[in-house]
Amino acid sequence: MSIAITLPLSEGLHPDTVKSITKKLLLIFERRPMRAIMIAKSWGWKSTVQILQQRWDQR
């Protein structure tokens, strides 16, 4: 499942913004996985957090 699908489009984010945020979160995740998870948690994106944690567990 793509992280982009889980981001809150209903909150008024433009699809291009979602793609940009997703790319940045994934870049952060590659270098600092826990940081990316904490960022997603702070934004309240529960499904995104779950996906990042699943990726972390697969490592």
Closest Cα partner for 48 from 11, 1, 13? 1
Q: What is the pLDDT of residues 26-56, one digit of tens each?
A: 899 999 999 999 988 888 878 888 888 998 8
For residues 17 and 43, the answer to whether their CB atoms sit within 8 Å is no
Count of positions (residues) in the chain: 59
Domain boundaries, the chain: 14-58
* pLDDT of the residue at 35: 92
Which three-class secondary structure state does DSSP give residue 8? coil
DSSP for 14-58, please give it.
Answer: -HHHHHHHHHHHHHHHHH-HHHHHHHHHHHT-HHHHHHHHHHHHH
Eight-class DSSP state of 59 = -
* pLDDT of the residue at 50: 87
